Structure 1
Amino acid sequence: MTDMIAVHGFVANDVRLFVTEEGLTIASFRVGSTERKFDRTANAWVDSETNWYNVSSFRYLAQNVAFCIKKGDPVVVTGKLRLRQWTNEAGKSGMTADIDADAVGHDLTWGTDRFTRSSAQRRDAAAAGREAGQPESDPLEVDGHQNDDGGESGIAVSLDGGEELVDVATGELLAAD
């Protein structure tokens, strides 16, 4: 039986992205989830203990996690919970909670975000459409552009041959054909 879990927390480290020898893309990070409770005697909100989870994601989800999720981000993770017992060389033992993620996203309680369909998923959807007899052309192409310091500055959107560069953070139109 598989236990499913949903965790709200904050990303504790930079996302690690790697590809196995078989070509499987994996992204992993840790999430800390701390329950807050109202203490009536102190008349204040207090933190309980923090639960720590190792999160692994695979394939397209792994690529998207590596692109979108950063250390300190508030996230919601759903997936399969796996509890793993361990013992180190010194004889110390413990238990680790691992989540094989089915979905990862920003927790919008803490801020805003914009959804952009990834180009790899769009290509797969277009290929499936061609197999079903739909037209081969995909009028919308989406690509990231980097600014001078290597950071993400905008999204180039090509719609029926025209192109717009939109600032990711503000949604401001930076350039158009």
Structure 2
Amino acid sequence: MNETWVTVVGNVATAPDFRETTTGVPVVRFRLATAARRWDREREAWTDGPTSFYTVWARRALAANVAASVALGEPLLVHGTLKVREQQRHSGEKGEREAPGDGGRWATADIEAVAVGHDMARGTSAFRRVAQARPLPAVPVGAPAL
């Protein structure tokens, strides 16, 4: 199956939500907002186009690092695979919100992130390498303990 790889530049629209799966895998989720800026010749000023929102998912070490480093409103670059999901909401479903004339259909754009970083064109950042836990070497049976 082909994957669509994207790099999106935007601002963090929701605080990162860090959780662990039932199997102990760290996962973080947040929304990223992005709007194209265009020069308006009539007003002679920059204007924002429509805003697009993406739900960004990160797993494992990336999830832990995002949760420790990213805050609401910060400018980011996110690189990963794009997945667009469209669903039909059933009438009477709890929390039902239907837009006029759409028959209860909605779509969401998710990015499964492989890299997340601050947008250095809009500020500074201080990188700190995270020490990775290394497995202890196997001690042969009968070897003296350290």
The one of 127, 140, 143 aligned to 1:115: 127
Q: Determine the structure 1 residue equivalent to 2:142.
A: none
SS in 1 for 2:62: helix
Aligned length: 126
Q: Which structure ranks higher in relative contact order (CA pairs < 8 Å, sequence separation ≥ 6)?
A: 2
Higher helix residue share: 1
Structure 1: unaligned runs, 5 residues or longer: 132-177
Instruction: Tell me the TM-score normalised to structure 2 length.
Output: 0.81
Q: Which residue in the other structure is 1:76 paired with?
A: 77
Counterpart CA distance in 2 for 1:5 and 1:98 is 11
- In 1, distance between residues paired with 2:112 and 2:86? 16
Q: Which runs of 4+ in 1 moved over 6 A?
A: none
Q: What SS does the corresponding residue of 1:102 show, helix, strand or coil?
A: strand
One-letter amino acid of the counterpart of residue 25, structure 2: L
Match of 2:32 in 1: 31
SS at match of 2:64: helix
Q: Which runs of 5+ in 2 are unaligned?
A: 92-102, 139-146
User: Following the alignment from structure 1 to structure 2, what is the Cα–Cα distance between the partners of residues 48 and 101?
Assistant: 25
The alignment's C-alpha RMSD in Å is 1.7
Match of 1:98 among 106, 110, 114: 110
Q: Displacement of 1:89 after TM fit? A: 3.5
The yes-or-no answer on 1:87 pairing with 2:88 is: yes
Whole-Å separation in 2 of the counterparts to 1:85 and 1:25: 26
Amino acid at match of 2:10: G
Give percent identity, aligned residues only: 36
Partner of 1:149: none
> Could you say what secondary structure the match of 1:51 adopts?
strand
